[in-house]
Amino acid sequence: MPALPASSREWHLVARPHGWPRPEDFALREVPVTEPGEGRILVRNLHFSVDPYMRGRMNDVKSYIPPFQLDRPMDGGAVGEVIASGAEGFAVGDHVLHGLGWREYADVDARQATKVDASLAPLTAYLGVLGMTGLTAYAGLFEVASFKEGDAVFVSGAAGAVGSQVGQMARLKGASRVIGSAGSDEKVKLLVEEYGFDAAFNYKNGPVKEQLAEAAPDGIDVYFDNVGGDHLEAAIASFNVHGRATICGMIAGYNDTEPTPGPRNMAMLIGKRLRLQGILVRDHADLQPRFVREVAGWLNSGELKYNETVVEGVENGVEAFLGVLRGDNTGKMIVSLTR
Ligand code: NAP
């Protein structure tokens, strides 16, 4: 077995951000690399994921996922190559998906690792379109929003990892109209020209309520919410009777220091008999086989497209994460450690 590297760099949270995280809230620290123990594998991370939900984990609050600990490595989705194995069934050279991102080398409990096939899809796809974000889109649209053929669908954060898949999946399953919002004119162009949305608008160009009403003159039946705030209020205003919203994320408020006011038009839920339902992707593992089968088919036929924004180097991990909050990414934001 080749000699192991002496050390690995990993990102620690060193202060809890108040509002927008600052670079000094994080530290890149060097730690020794050791042989994996019984039942464990040592993985050289090739790509890791930086996701909006990680902002919530930087706060010391009780939530559906424990907060990051101060002066401990942060974690999250990663794919890499096994470079030493103390676990039956895992060999050097295997590619695995696991939860110890934000570092160069990961000492992983093999029970928490899933082998992935680099010949079937690029490894980064297992973090995005065929991974957690893809399943979020699939489960959120088909299960939680009970999408049906002929629905008019509005998705916010539509050029992001989840949103771009939601819009295309709705189109592929026979939506009558797919509308997206995003934060730049380039992203809006991409939605219409590359992903086949029927209409899209830049939420920074004017009130969301007015732009949505114009883009959806016959109203909407499904809203996939990645943003919250004025987007949710606008969706409620545009909903047809029996509309359904999947509340997936509310990124517009993740750095707020005061509780965000709710939509002012909640009374419309009554007359329109609306349903607003949250989603946690981890509740939908049962959909995984169907999701992979269907999405792999669409990817192979070229009917479903995806983009990634790749930032190179572990040292740029925090900057990549801040970039997701700012909207620097088109599609899934990935940190690659392949150079
Ligand atoms: P993403 O959409 O790829 O990246 C986040 C995007 O949010 C940015 O690119 C930016 O795009 C947009 N954004 C940032 N600030 C905004 C604001 N104030 N108003 C409107 N848009 C803003 O991230 P993702 O991984 O696909 O996640 C999308 C949403 O789903 C997030 O809210 C996330 O928390 C949620 N999520 C939930 C689950 C679950 O199980 N519930 C799972 C995965 C993700 P623009 O340039 O368009 O502003």
Domains of the chain by residue range: 7-128+306-336, 132-282
Burial of 243 (0-12, 13-18, 19+ CB in 10 A): buried
Is the model's pLDDT at 295 over the cut of 90? Answer: yes
Helices (H) and strands (E) in the chain, counts: 9, 15
Q: Decide: 324 in ligand 1 pocket, CB within 6 A.
A: yes
What whole-number percentage of the chain has pLDDT above 90? 98
Q: Decide: 139 in ligand 1 pocket, CB within 6 A.
A: no
Class of domain 132-282: alpha beta
Give the whole-angstrom CA distance, residue 27 versus residue 25: 7
Single-letter code of the amino acid located at 40 = R
CB-facing half-sphere around the CA of 239: CA atoms within 13 A: 28
Q: Decide: 327 in ligand 1 pocket, CB within 6 A.
A: yes
Residue whose token pair is 């205003």: 237
pLDDT confidence of residue 244: 98
Fold of 7-128+306-336: Quinone Oxidoreductase; Chain A, domain 1 (3.90.180)
Q: Where would I find the H helices in 15-57?
A: 53-57
pLDDT confidence of residue 261: 86
Residue whose token pair is 């991409």: 190
User: Ligand 1 test: best mutation among 136, 138, 251, most atoms within 8 Å of CB?
Assistant: 251
CB 113 within 8 A of CB 96: yes
Q: Where would I find the H helices in 156-287?
A: 161-172, 185-193, 208-215, 229-238, 268-272
pLDDT confidence of residue 1: 59
Is the model's pLDDT at 2 over the cut of 90? Answer: no
155 CA → ligand 1 middle, Å: 11
CB 306 within 8 A of CB 333: no
Q: Do domains 7-128+306-336 and 132-282 have the same CATH topology?
A: no
Tell me the β-bridge partners of 287: none
**How does pLDDT run across 232-258, given as a tens digit for each residue?**
999 999 999 999 999 999 999 999 999
pLDDT confidence of residue 3: 82
Total number of residues shown for the chain: 339
What whole-number percentage of the chain has pLDDT above 70? 99
Nearest CA to ligand 1 atom 48: 183
Nearest Cα to 47, choosing from 126, 165, 129? Answer: 126
**How does pLDDT run across 260-283, given as a tens digit for each residue?**
889 999 999 999 999 999 999 999
Nearest CA to ligand 1 atom 19: 252
pLDDT confidence of residue 260: 85
Question: Across residues 307-311, what is the average pLDDT?
Answer: 98
The average confidence (pLDDT) of the chain is 97
Q: Decide: 167 in ligand 1 pocket, CB within 6 A.
A: no
209 CA → ligand 1 middle, Å: 19
325 CA → ligand 1 middle, Å: 7
User: Ligand 1 test: best mutation among 49, 144, 226, 279, most atoms within 8 Å of CB?
Assistant: 226
**How does pLDDT run across 189-223, given as a tens digit for each residue?**
999 999 999 999 999 999 999 999 999 999 999 99
